[in-house]
A and B are shown apart, each in its own frame.
Chain A
């Protein structure tokens, strides 16, 4: 951790390091969950999907622990300035990670259901690519957190644009599939939810990157989060 100097009271440093280590551990578990979830979908591996669903318990438990640590730290240490931003960012990041973990679990759940249906060609691979992209983003966001690298964080925020584009493409594809053959509707609906959840994962990763910017620069980046999910532009067109 690149903090400029150590606190005179060394116990404070140890406590801050401890909760940041916990966040990194949680991040690692969530990255894993995304990758394994996507793999289980692509390879139609129901056992792996089961594992992913079980693994979410550990993620939830870590979030509880982190919340307790943060409460104690605020009550006992009264952190200020950068210390306060560290503690608050840890709390928000853990919330975001827990949601991402939930989406990964949801992906694994739907994998189990989809296993019993006819596969939609190309969809699983596309979804896996999308999940891969999100996982790269999360990894970079967590790296930016350790290195306190605001530039990298800004970069992650812009890459959400690509994830949104991928979602739009999949959305149109699934529409086409469903219009072609009504027997595909159930499967496509599940796949669409998976796509939507993956896109939401990307949004949560963006939120994590924004917390990194807040930590380093002291202010949240202004609200120029790229919205390419088709809805805003559709709304704008309607009003025009």
Chain B
């Protein structure tokens, strides 16, 4: 029943292209300095993983990338984060428009309590992406296909989204995020609430998504980062300790802190 995405050959990524570039990013929660001096480049059509122990700031930094931290009053962001060369914290930028280009998937699947169709169609509707119903139908179908869930729901598009299983709900949320045709997908521990089979299905989907999107995924599971990403960033106590190709981080990390974390040693 699960429709596997099509096999993709090796994707050519020009290593000099940068989708999101962060320079000297600091994040303050009130007086506490949560994120210190982070410099990182997110490449297009690549999966970048953020790993690190609890409370190291990886989720906080992820939420800076689409300005979700704006909803928290005490949070202050300094430094520059640029999407395709434009500073997203510029005063002229409307976060609503930014979030249509940088989509987000959350830890616990959170479909709207509406029908599956309405869930996916909501984003395109409010951004005015379809001129008539036929176009909207097409956008919804494309998003559900790309989210690897079309075959399972095509006969019940008007059933409530909350009636699906956990893994299906998360893929629906991914399809919903894709529907606004973003360029970057941010995923905050998308599999932590799912069982191993559903996790594997979502990971396979992520592998397929990178043909079209940059994906940044925060994960507690190092094994997941190893399986799914091409580049990995290790955060520790608010600092970005190491950022490198995934295979190198997991076989020959440069920084001893990275090695300690990955091998499960303390200190």
* Partner-B contacts on A (CB < 8 A): 7-12, 71-72, 75-78
With a cutoff of 8 Å between Cβ atoms, the chain B residues found around residue A77 in the complex are 226-227
Shortest beta-carbon contacts, A-B, top 6: A8-B200, A76-B226, A75-B250, A9-B204, A75-B251, A78-B223
Q: List 29 A-B contacts (CB under 8 A).
A: A7-B200, A8-B2, A8-B4, A8-B197, A8-B200, A8-B201, A8-B203, A8-B204, A9-B200, A9-B203, A9-B204, A9-B207, A9-B227, A10-B4, A10-B204, A10-B207, A11-B207, A12-B227, A72-B247, A72-B251, A75-B226, A75-B250, A75-B251, A76-B227, A76-B246, A76-B247, A77-B226, A77-B227, A78-B226
Q: In the complex, what residue of chain A is closest to B4 when comparing beta carbons? A: A10
Taking CB atoms, residues of chain B closer than 8 Å to A8 are 2, 4, 197, 200-201, 203-204
Q: Which residues of A contact B207 (CB under 8 A)?
A: 9-11
Give the distance to chain A from B252, nearest Cβ to Cβ, in Å.
Answer: 10
Further contacts, 17 of them, CB under 8 A, given A7-B200, A9-B203? A8-B2, A8-B197, A8-B203, A8-B204, A9-B204, A9-B207, A10-B4, A10-B7, A75-B247, A75-B250, A75-B251, A76-B226, A76-B246, A76-B250, A77-B227, A78-B223, A78-B226
How far in angstroms is the closest Cβ of chain B from A5? Answer: 12
| A72 to B230 CA separation, bound complex (whole angstroms) | 13
The closest CB in chain A to the CB of B197 belongs to A8
Which residue of chain B has the shortest Cβ distance to A9 in the bound complex?
B204
CA distance A7 to B200 in the complex (A): 9
Q: Is the CB of B7 within 8 A of A71?
A: no
Chain B, Cβ-Cβ closest to A6: B4
Chain A residues, CB < 8 A from B247: 72, 75-76
Shortest Cβ distance from residue A165 to the other chain B in the assembled complex, whole angstroms: 46
Chain B: residues with Cβ within 8 Å of the partner, total of: 16
Alpha-carbon separation in the docked complex, A77 to B204 (Å)? 13
Interface residues of B (CB under 8 A from A): 2, 4, 7, 197, 200-201, 203-204, 207, 223, 226-227, 246-247, 250-251
A172, chain B: closest CB distance, angstroms: 51
Residues of B within 8 A of A11 (CB): 207
Inside 8 A of A71's CB, which chain B residues have their CB? Answer: 251
The residue in A9, A11, A71, A78 that gathers the most chain B C-beta atoms within 10 A of its C-beta is A9
The smallest beta-carbon distance between A10 and chain B, in angstroms, is 6
Taking the closest CB of chain B, its distance from the CB of A71, in whole angstroms, is: 6
Task: Give the distance in Å from the alpha carbon of A12 to the alpha carbon of B223 in the complex.
Answer: 13
Docked complex Cα distance between A7 and B203 (Å): 12
When C-beta atoms are compared, the residue in chain A nearest to B246 turns out to be: A76
- B250, chain A: closest CB distance, angstroms: 4
- Residues of B near A12 (CB, < 8 A) are 227
When distances are taken between beta carbons in the complex, the residues of chain B under 8 Å from A78 are: 223, 226
CA distance A72 to B204 in the complex (A): 19
Question: Separation in Å of the B244 CB from the closest CB of chain A?
Answer: 13
User: Which residue of chain B has the shortest Cβ distance to A77 in the bound complex?
Assistant: B227
Taking CB atoms, residues of chain B closer than 8 Å to A9 are 200, 203-204, 207, 227
**Residues in A whose Cβ lies below 8 Å from that of B4:** 8, 10
In the bound complex, CA of A62 to CA of B200 (Å): 32
List chain A residues, Cβ under 8 A from B197: 8
In Å, the complex CA distance between A156 and B69 comes to 66
- Contact residues in B for A72 (Cβ distance below 8 Å): 247, 251
Q: Which residue of chain B lies nearest to A14 when distances are taken between CB atoms in the complex?
A: B7
Give bound CA distance, A25 to B251, whole Å: 26
A72 to B252, CA, bound (A): 10
Measured CB to CB, the closest approach of chain B to A233, in angstroms, equals 48
Q: How far is the CB of A230 from chain B (nearest CB, A)?
A: 46
A77, B207: Cα distance in complex, Å: 14
Quick one: closest B residue to A78, CB to CB? Answer: B223
**Bound CA–CA A71/B250 (angstroms):** 10
A186: min CB distance to chain B, Å: 49
- Bound together, the chains give a CA A20 to CA B149 distance in angstroms of 33
Cα–Cα, bound, A92→B203 (Å): 31
* Docked CA distance A113–B207 (Å): 56
A77, B4: Cα distance in complex, Å: 20
Q: Once the chains are docked, how many angstroms separate the CA of A216 from the CA of B7? A: 29
Q: Please, how many angstroms separate the alpha-carbon atoms of A191 and B128 in the complex?
A: 85
**Cβ of A64 to closest chain B Cβ, rounded Å:** 15
- Contact residues in A for B201 (Cβ distance below 8 Å): 8
Q: How far is the CA of A11 from the CA of B247 in the complex (A)?
A: 14
| A11 to B201 Cα, complex, angstroms | 12
